[in-house]
Amino acid sequence: MLAADGISCLGYVEFCRRLDEDAEFAEWFGPLSDSVEAVARAAEVPYRLIALQHAVLDLIDLLDPRAERFPDHRRSRLGRPPER
């Protein structure tokens, strides 16, 4: 969508499509994706990061309860954060 001031913004669905289908676009997010994958594979993930990831997924569940925009197969949670 192109705003009157010439600034554009991708919607979530278009962002995901481009991430999946546009190699040049996806390359911009390579380092971030690599970092997220490394954290997901790490033996120990910091408590705050796990808590943040759970909070984001709780928000996604609230905003998209039928998983129409963010499919269930993309909603896996990191291990439960330890009790504080």
User: Residue 83's CB: how many other CB atoms inside 10 A?
Assistant: 5
**Average pLDDT over every residue of 39-66:** 86
Backbone Cα Rg of the chain:
16
What DSSP state is assigned to residue 77?
A: P
Under the banding of pLDDT at 50, 70 and 90, the label for residue 2 is low
- Structural contact between residues 81 and 46, judged by C-beta atoms closer than 8 angstroms: no
Average pLDDT over residues 60-81: 87
Q: pLDDT digits over 19-50, tens only?
A: 999 999 999 999 998 988 887 787 777 788 88
Mean pLDDT score across all residues of the chain: 85
Q: Which of 66, 61, 84 is nearest to 75 (CA)?
A: 61
Q: What is the pTM of this model?
A: 0.47
